Amino acid sequence: MKVYIVFDNKAKEGFKKGWGLSLYIETEEKNILFDTGCSGEDLVFNLTKFEVDAGSFSDIVISHGHWDHTGGIFSLLNMRAYNFFVGESFSEKFSFEINDRGGEVIRGNEWRKISENFYVTPELKRNFPEQALVYNTKNFSFLFLGCSHPGVEEFAKLTFGKFNNPLYLMGGFHFYPLSDEKIEFRLSELKKLPILKIYPLHCTGDGGRELVLKKFEGENLRAGNMIKI
């Protein structure tokens, strides 16, 4: 499995940065785009920079309806049609516009199996409704998170409860508005689970990233980075 950081608040030289998140997950089984950042122009630029063809994937998972995760949707639809897996709380008006432009919105609020190894979680409702994406194998579960509004630890518990596998975590953890004390509490909850590595991005914040990487093995990534698992 390869994971490309397509969109993030920080970027390597030569890549565009902006407030938001987008990840491209490439596997032998299937390729999926998770979220679309805040700018369609910059999203397409970074995909092209990675030499990722818009036709190499047909499924896009949207974690939640905030602008910094949905901003690239219509730029992608200008290139081809996609399936969009969204939660039950996703905007009906936005869904209509996506369908009207040739996309297909697939709405739900339960564990949904996209393919042999890819699953969408149920929506968690605390703070703001949000879902996550899981790539599950016999050896580990890789959890992809948009902003973790309901709590990164809650998504991790949900995923571990479903698959009972050690976890990789990547995405936004929404730590930037929190005190160090509150972040430490959430990290202490994660410590109760078998965490392999954590890759904090987006709304985790600079201070949050530092705290995460003091407590867990992981890496500080940005747009333009790619990892192999």
Neighbours of 116 (CB within 10 A): 11
Q: Please give the average per-residue pLDDT across 198-215, as a whole number.
A: 96
CA R_g for the chain: 16
**In which band, very low, low, confident or very high, does the pLDDT at 193 lie, cut at 50, 70 and 90?**
very high
| Best CA proximity match to 172, nearest among 142, 204, 195 | 204
120 — phi, psi (to 5°)?
-105, 135
For residue 15, pLDDT over 90 is answered with yes
Which amino acid does the sequence have at 211? Answer: L
Q: What is the pLDDT of residue 96?
A: 97
Domain that holds residue 208: 2-228
Contact 144, 152 (CB under 8 A): no
Tens of pLDDT, residues 136-159: 999 999 999 999 999 999 999 999
Q: What is the pLDDT of residue 21?
A: 98
CA 52 to CA 44: how far, in whole Å?
A: 9
How would you write the chain as a 3-class SS string?
Answer: CEEEEEECCCECCCCCCCCCCEEEEECCCCEEEECCCCCHHHHHHHHHHCCCCHHHCCEEECCCCCHHHHCCHHHHHCCCCCEEEEECCCCHHHHHHHHHCCCEEEEECCCEECCCCEEECCCECCCCCECCEEEECCCCEEEEECCCCCCHHHHHHHHHHHHCCCEEEEEECCCCCCCHHHHHHHHHHHCCCCEEEEEEEHHHCHHHHHHHHHHCCECCCCECCEEEC
Q: What is the pLDDT of residue 25?
A: 98
Q: Pairing between strand 2-7 and 22-26?
A: antiparallel
Length of the chain, in residues: 229
Q: What is the pLDDT of residue 37?
A: 98
CA 62 to CA 82: how far, in whole Å?
A: 12
Q: What is the pLDDT of residue 177?
A: 84
Partner residues linked to 118 by β-bridges: 135
Tens of pLDDT, residues 86-106: 999 999 999 999 999 999 999
Q: In this structure, what is the dihedral angle of CA atoms 80, 86, 88, 92, given to the nearest 10 degrees? A: -30
Contact 120, 61 (CB under 8 A): yes
Q: How many domains does the chain have?
A: 1
Q: What is the pLDDT of residue 201?
A: 98
Q: What is the pLDDT of residue 171?
A: 98
The CATH number assigned to the domain holding 117 equals 3.60.15.10
For residue 176, pLDDT over 90 is answered with no
**In which band, very low, low, confident or very high, does the pLDDT at 163 lie, cut at 50, 70 and 90?**
very high
CA 161 to CA 111: how far, in whole Å?
A: 12
For residue 205, pLDDT over 90 is answered with yes
Tens of pLDDT, residues 28-72: 999 999 999 999 999 999 999 999 999 999 999 999 999 999 999
